[in-house]
Amino acid sequence: GWEMRVKTVTKALVVRTAMTDTRLMMLRAVTGLIQ
């Protein structure tokens, strides 16, 4: 049903957000090391 679809989309969005946050934190750490 559509409930499963909503759960899947929500999970994908959460995973994508977590991956983006991790990448941003890594970028920030690298920038801090350069400075």
What confidence tens digit (pLDDT) does each residue in 1-35 have? 999 999 999 999 999 999 999 999 999 999 999 88
Instruction: Name which of 20, 21, 18 is nearest 10 in CA terms.
Output: 18
Structure tokens at 20: 């983006």
Could you list the residue range(s) of the whole structural domain that residue 27 is in?
1-34
Structure tokens at 21: 């946050």
In the prediction, which pLDDT does 35 show? 82
Number of domains observed in the structure of the chain: 1
Structure tokens at 4: 């499963």
Structure tokens at 11: 């999970």
The radius of gyration computed from the CA coordinates of the chain, to the nearest angstrom, equals 15
Whole-model pTM: value is 0.58
Number of residues that this document lists for the chain: 35
- Cα-flanking dihedrals φ and ψ of residue 31, to 5°? -60, -40
